[in-house]
Amino acid sequence: MQSKVTRIGRMLLPYMIIIIVIILLKLFVVTTVRVNGGSMNDTLLDGDIMLLDRISYRFRDINRFEIVVVHLEEERKDVIYEEDVIKRVIGLPGDKISYKDGNLYVNDTLVEEDFHPKETDDFDISELGSEVVPEDSYFVMGDNRPDSYDSRYFGFVSKDDILGHAMFTIWPLSRFGGKD
């Protein structure tokens, strides 16, 4: 005759395994991320909830115009501030990036941005102390250029600081779908 504890343990084991698998998936594969602020308007809105692919981008190249989540750590007045921000990849390693008259130039060639970003002031990455985006680094910007704290201010982003690719919006349901 089985003890009551053994029977209960066998009944609970599948549920415990499911919970562990869900936790591992959320920690290492896919999780949710909430858009905070208006720096990605009109592509993403404040409060949108997206799925964040934390693993597949590590096995492939990060593409220009991909939406990513970046972990920032900054020291301000001897205090370290940390936050995760959602931005769009504009410059890849080795790229020379500039904006002139609201137009993006990559390596001195005009590049069309088909996601309708808001206009930005003229800018050249040489203002960040480098003529090109450094190796294993990226230049990221929000789509709402006049209201975006991005690489123009905090500099280049290391690949190690990119947490993943924001795949698609899952909430609100009226905005469900991919945004790249």
Sign of CA dihedral 118, 123, 124, 129: negative
Q: Among positive and negative, which fits the CA dihedral 110, 45, 140, 88?
A: negative
How far is residue 119's CA from residue 12's CA, in Å, rounded to a whole number? 56
How far, in Å, CA of 169 to CA of 164, rounded?
Answer: 14
In the residue annotation, 137 being an active-site residue is answered as no
Catalytic residue among 87, 148, 151, 179: 87
80: its two tokens: 């370290």
The residue annotated as part of the active site, out of 3, 4, 39, 56, is 39
Residues in the chain: 180
| Residue 87 appears among annotated catalytic residues | yes
Active site residues: 39, 87
